[in-house]
Amino acid sequence: MCPWCSQRTAAKFEHGRRVVVTHVPAILLAVLILASAVRADAQHPSLTAGDWLRVDFRARFQGDVRRSEAPMARDDSRLDIARRRLGVEGRVGRVFAYQVEYELGSNEWRDVYLDYRQFRAVQVKAGAFKLPFGLDENTSSTSLDFIYRARISSRLAPGRDRGVAVHGRVLANAVTYEAGVFGHDGDNARPSNSTRVFGGRTVATRVVAHPFRSSESPFASLQVGGALSSTNVPLGFPAVRARTVFGVSFYDSDVWVEGRRQRTGLEARWRPGRASLQSEYIRLTDERRGQSVEDGDLSPLTAHGWYVSGTYALTGKRHRLGIVELAARYETLSFGSSGSNGEASTSARADVVLGNTDRATTLGASWSVNQWVKVQANVVREDIRRPSMGPMPGRGAFWSRAFRLQLTI
Amino acid sequence: MTMLLLVAMLLSPVVAGAESSDDFFDSRTLHDVRLYIHSEDLRQLRERYLEDIYYPADFEWRGIRMRNVGVRVRGLATRSATKPGLRIDFNRYVGQQTFLGMASLVLDNALKDPSMIRERTSMAFIKRMGQPAPRESFGRVYINGAYEGLYALVEAVDSTFLARELGDGLGYLFEHKFVDGFYAGDLGDDLGPYKLRFDAETHRLEGDYTLYSPIRELFREANREVDAVWRERVGWFIDLDQLVTHVAIETFLAEFDGFLGGSGMANFYLYRPVAGNVHRLIAWDRDTTFQEIDAEIFARVEDNALFRRALMFPELRMLYLDVLEQCARAAAQDRWLEVELLQMHQLVREAVREDTGRLYSDEDYEAAIRHLLSFAQRRPAFVIDQVAKAR
């Protein structure tokens, strides 16, 4: 079925079309005027005090327009300034680096840390920052190939928390590592609903190898890695839940958990020339100690998924139009349990949990006009395995689209 | 030895698979039913016994274990934290899961009945009189291994029941909910008061007009002046012969809390086939039967707007008396009712004594049994005498 031919959703999309027709050309025009006024090699505003202090000022403004055949968690059919971040970063002396970032929209601190960098092999970072887990999750939002991170990154990877980490590069920079201890298991796992549970003290580690880094071969840019995290969750329903690309539930994890939460991640990236290829797998398990109807243990609740994505730059870095890039991604996100004893059930104490899976294909284009301005457009096709649990109970597959304008200083 | 174990293991599913719902409702056997509920859920279930909250559980009978069933407390006046009446929904958390073909089951705590056998004996008598009634048996119920008490195991009135009893399980089924003293009066044009009193058990997704307008019309027509067309017009919405038969059986059983209940209509289902608007009654919850042996056969008839008018028609009054007489003769024939009560008494006696959750003492139990036996011996003659006088 063609994505736009549903009668029921035609009206919704007509409204979205009007929004895009009226807003997007105006935005693009503004972008071009703004971009042409700025020198391509301009730098961030910064302050320096001799050799001992450097302060770079950062600001990021991000506006989204989103439309979907399915319900969305937020209706952003109008241009929504989704992110307004201000921050500073720099160094103190030769051995300390720092970053402080604040989100004006949600009034919350983002990265706030101090990094002791005297030795390349052993550096120490303390404060609030992303746990060392996941390639996509630890990629800056200004550098993403798509408007939204893969759902395994935004749902299963831990995200940001307070902690201390040791990191560095060893073996002639062929291996980078990071390992830390954090107060909890990240803001991706933290509940918006206060009755849900999340992890306590968390240990996380990530190791990435660049096996052909020093070679001249096309594989020089290849990196492979893995990550582990471990924590304990108290008794309750977990806050880690299944959401579509636009944030609507397709499985609510209304299952009792208690015990160890473990995450396992594998990642790979290769950037030969103008193309890039990236893939990641994440598995999260929550123990369910003492949660069976006989107060015994149940098989762990599992959430797992993977993605593979690729990009191709149509223009080089020095092109007068900036960088224009095409991208495609296929991803899955599944929730369930590892039990096999009996029929799958929606019971909160079922050994075999009746979970759900969402498969999404994203096609995208991005235009980095210069280092300040980036425009992205994505079209997403999602397919929910059990539509009755999803945003459109009578229908499993639906289309969505998003447009983003990002200004970075 | 290993070989024997292997053979036993291979045979056990075959044995379990041979059981049927008739075996489960074999009332000559005292069954053992086991429920497994997480300790925290069980604590919640007892603490919040006034709420209809479902909890996950496993259900086991004769080695057949149904996993992930839904259990909730049920009942109105019989709600109890100590010995909760329970409803089991086998398909609550597993779509299409059934136990011996049943989607649901009721574990009736028989809390108001010191004899604990009124419910099952009444339903057996209703069936003997040719009316549909849920099958019932007795079971010792264990929760997490602890004896909870003696329960009546009651077949749920649902599509499966209707298909078997009426040959049609596709229609509209409503459970009458006691809200206040409703004596079949006209509640007006608004469908809300009817929706409040008649809980749709099937076709729940259909609109209120489809579900409730035939019920509203039933009571609207029933409350019109009795004239030449009253019976015909009311007959469009209820099977009057079946209504009269249903009430006559209740009257013989000296039911205090039925269609002619002292506090208003109570304890019945209304069923309406998809084709047509004619409802019929199905009996439910008969643990307040066998009251006074000399309960009048026209007791509380005047209170009920529908039944009072129905009995103004000579044919319906005659039917009422005929059914009452048939009931009396059926109960007395070969001392059927007395024998039935005695058999049930023998079956459950020890289980009742061990039941620490009941509200009544052993002496209350013995007294209740004596009353029931006396009822069985004397009620038929009393009713036949009353019928003769009324003719």
Q: Report whether pLDDT(A18) > 80.
A: no
Q: Report whether pLDDT(B84) > 70.
A: yes
Q: Which residues of B81-112 are buried (b: 16+ CB within 10 A; e: fewer)?
A: eebbbbbbbbbbbbeebebbebbbbbbbbbbb
Counting one residue from chain A and one from chain B, the pairs whose CB atoms sit within 8 A come to 46
In a domain, A258, yes or no: yes
Q: Report whether pLDDT(A17) > 70.
A: no
Q: What pLDDT score was predicted for residue A35?
A: 53
In a domain, A138, yes or no: yes
Residue A87 — left, alpha, or beta (φ > 0 → left; ψ -120 to 50 → alpha)? beta
Q: Report whether pLDDT(B322) > 50.
A: yes
B360 burial class (0-12, 13-18, 19+ CB within 10 angstroms)? middle
CB contacts, 8 Å: A292 with chain B? 38
d(CA B124, nearest CA chain A) in Å = 35
pLDDT tens column, B324-352 = 999 999 999 999 999 999 999 999 999 99
Give yes or no for B144 touching A (CB within 8 A).
yes
Read off the pLDDT of each residue in A61-85 and give the average, rounded to a whole number: 79
Q: Report whether pLDDT(B113) > 50.
A: yes
3-state secondary structure of A36: helix
Query: Which of A15-24, B15-24, B202-211, B276-285 shows the lowest mean pLDDT across its residues?
Result: A15-24
Nearest-Cα residue of chain B relative to residue A255: B56
Q: Report whether pLDDT(A318) > 90.
A: no
Nearest-by-Cβ selection for B57 from A293, A295, A342:
A293
Q: Verify whether the Cβ–Cβ distance B68 to A347 is below 8 Å.
A: yes
Residue of A3, A292, A220 lying closest to B68 (CA atoms): A292
Nearest-by-Cβ selection for B56 from A293, A343, A354:
A293
The answer to whether A88 and A110 are in contact (CB under 8 A) is no
Give yes or no for B64 touching A (CB within 8 A).
no
The answer to whether B151 and B141 are in contact (CB under 8 A) is yes
Nearest-Cα residue of chain A relative to residue B143: A294
Nearest-by-Cβ selection for A350 from B36, B37, B68:
B68
Confidence of residue A24 (pLDDT cuts 50, 70, 90): low
Q: Report whether pLDDT(A343) > 60.
A: yes
Q: What pLDDT score was predicted for residue A8?
A: 43
Confidence of residue A21 (pLDDT cuts 50, 70, 90): very low
B45 burial class (0-12, 13-18, 19+ CB within 10 angstroms)? buried
Distance separating alpha carbons of residues B226 and B104, to the nearest angstrom: 41
Q: What pLDDT score was predicted for residue B15?
A: 43
Interface probe for B, chosen from A347, A351, A388 (most Cβ of B below 10 Å), is A347
Distance separating alpha carbons of residues B305 and B310, to the nearest angstrom: 9
Q: What pLDDT score was predicted for residue B25?
A: 96
CB contacts, 8 Å: A353 with chain B? none
The answer to whether A117 and A98 are in contact (CB under 8 A) is no
Q: Report whether pLDDT(A372) > 60.
A: yes
Q: What pLDDT score was predicted for residue A29?
A: 58
Confidence of residue A309 (pLDDT cuts 50, 70, 90): very high
ipTM of the complex: 0.83
Distance separating alpha carbons of residues A374 and B177, to the nearest angstrom: 63
For residue B58, the surrounding DSSP H or E stretch is strand B55-61
Q: Verify whether the Cβ–Cβ distance A347 to B56 is below 8 Å.
A: yes
Q: What pLDDT score was predicted for residue A141?
A: 86
Q: Verify whether the Cβ–Cβ distance A294 to B58 is below 8 Å.
A: yes
pLDDT tens column, A130-139 = 999 999 999 9
The structure tokens listed for B283 are 């009996």
In a domain, A82, yes or no: yes
Phi then psi for residue B302, to 5 deg, are -65, -20
Confidence of residue B18 (pLDDT cuts 50, 70, 90): confident
| Alpha carbon B341 to chain centroid, angstroms | 18
Q: Verify whether the Cβ–Cβ distance A343 to B38 is below 8 Å.
A: no
Distance separating alpha carbons of residues A38 and A30, to the nearest angstrom: 13
d(CA A400, nearest CA chain B) in Å = 30
pLDDT tens column, B119-176 = 999 999 999 999 999 999 999 999 999 999 999 999 999 999 999 999 998 999 999 9
Domains of chain A: total: 1
Interface of A with B (CB under 8 A): 291-295, 342-351, 354
Q: Verify whether the Cβ–Cβ distance A350 to B36 is below 8 Å.
A: no
pLDDT tens column, A29-69 = 555 555 555 544 556 788 998 889 999 999 999 899 999 99
Per domain, the residue ranges of chain B are 23-155, 167-312, 331-390
Q: Report whether pLDDT(B103) > 80.
A: yes
Q: Report whether pLDDT(A350) > 90.
A: yes
The structure tokens listed for A241 are 């839940």
Q: What pLDDT score was predicted for residue A43?
A: 67
Give the type of residue at B363.
E
- Tokens 């698979």 belong to B17
Read off the pLDDT of each residue in B202-219 and give the average, rounded to a whole number: 95
Share of chain A above pLDDT 90, in %: 70
Give yes or no for B93 touching A (CB within 8 A).
yes
Q: CA dist A33 to A19, A37, A202, A366, B237, Å?
A: 21, 6, 47, 18, 76
What is the rounded average pLDDT for all residues in chain A? Answer: 88
> Residue B312 carries which DSSP code?
T
Nearest-Cα residue of chain A relative to residue B41: A293
CB contacts, 8 Å: A344 with chain B? 94
Q: Verify whether the Cβ–Cβ distance B36 to A294 is below 8 Å.
A: yes
Read off the pLDDT of each residue in A83-94 and give the average, rounded to a whole number: 90
Q: Verify whether the Cβ–Cβ distance B93 to A345 is below 8 Å.
A: yes
- Tokens 């919040």 belong to B48
| Alpha carbon B168 to chain centroid, angstroms | 19
Q: What pLDDT score was predicted for residue A330?
A: 98
Interface probe for A, chosen from B68, B91, B144 (most Cβ of A below 10 Å), is B68
For residue B305, the surrounding DSSP H or E stretch is helix B305-310
Residue of B159, B298, B317, B181 lying closest to B240 (CA atoms): B317
d(CA A300, nearest CA chain B) in Å = 17
pLDDT tens column, B355-387 = 999 999 999 999 999 999 999 999 999 999 999
The CATH number linked to A355 is 2.40.160.10
Q: Verify whether the Cβ–Cβ distance A293 to B39 is below 8 Å.
A: no
Number of H helices, E strands in chain A: 2, 19
Q: Verify whether the Cβ–Cβ distance B67 to A350 is below 8 Å.
A: yes
CB contacts, 8 Å: A293 with chain B? 36-38, 41, 56-58
Nearest-by-Cβ selection for A349 from B38, B94, B144:
B38
Nearest-Cα residue of chain B relative to residue A292: B38
Nearest-by-Cβ selection for A343 from B57, B92, B97:
B97
In a domain, A205, yes or no: yes
The answer to whether A175 and A207 are in contact (CB under 8 A) is yes
Q: What pLDDT score was predicted for residue A115?
A: 97
Q: Is the dihedral of CA B344, B346, B349, B351 positive or negative?
A: negative
Beta bridge partners, B262, equal B264
The structure tokens listed for A79 are 């241009």
d(CA A384, nearest CA chain B) in Å = 19
Q: What pLDDT score was predicted for residue A13?
A: 43
Q: When comparing pLDDT for B48 and A7, which is higher?
A: B48
Nearest-by-Cβ selection for B58 from A291, A293, A344:
A293
The answer to whether B64 and B19 are in contact (CB under 8 A) is yes
Nearest-by-Cβ selection for B67 from A295, A342, A354:
A342
Give the type of residue at B302.
E
Nearest-by-Cβ selection for A293 from B38, B92, B97:
B38
The structure tokens listed for A91 are 């160094």
Distance separating alpha carbons of residues B328 and B249, to the nearest angstrom: 9
Q: Verify whether the Cβ–Cβ distance A346 to B94 is below 8 Å.
A: yes
Q: What pLDDT score was predicted for residue A11?
A: 47
For residue A384, the surrounding DSSP H or E stretch is strand A373-384
Give the type of residue at B286.
R
3-state secondary structure of B76: coil
The answer to whether B15 and B8 are in contact (CB under 8 A) is no
CB contacts, 8 Å: A351 with chain B? 67
Confidence of residue A28 (pLDDT cuts 50, 70, 90): low
Nearest-Cα residue of chain B relative to residue A342: B67
Domain span holding position A133: 7-38+56-408
pLDDT tens column, A170-190 = 998 999 999 999 999 999 998
Interface list for B 329-358 with A (CB within 8 A): none
